[in-house]
Amino acid sequence: ILTSLSPETFHTPIVQQARSSAAEVYKLYYLKDHVIETPSSFDEMTEKLENDLIRDKISVHSSEYMEKLRKRYGYELDTLQRSIPENFEPFILK
């Protein structure tokens, strides 16, 4: 239906029966814009997919590694916050 339309035009109404009842349903289609995009080459897609998979694995394994380090050395976020005094200022600009 949409391939036969020009941009910014309506298709004639299509009458169908509703799935839940016997009522008639009218469908209108409007094509706002038609952009033809050529698909990426196989090599480009392969490289992108490979990089995405590697990034996902690094993300998973680095978070697992950090969790193991926290358990091994007994580090928790509130431990660091408790060890720093409330009035601590790393430096003061004068």
- Mean of the per-residue pLDDT values for the chain? 87
pTM confidence score: 0.39
Query: For 12-16, 25-29, 78-82, which range has the lowest pLDDT when averaged over its residues?
Result: 78-82
pLDDT at 4: 82
Tens-digit pLDDT profile for residues 16-52: 988 888 899 999 999 998 888 898 899 889 999 999 9
- pLDDT: is 7 or 78 the higher one? 7
- pLDDT: is 55 or 4 the higher one? 55
SS (H, E, C) the chain: CHHHCCCCEECCCEEEECCCCCCEEEECCEECCCCCCCCCCHHHHHHHHHHHHHHHHHHHHHHHHHHHHHHHHCCCHHHHHHHCCCCCCCCCCC
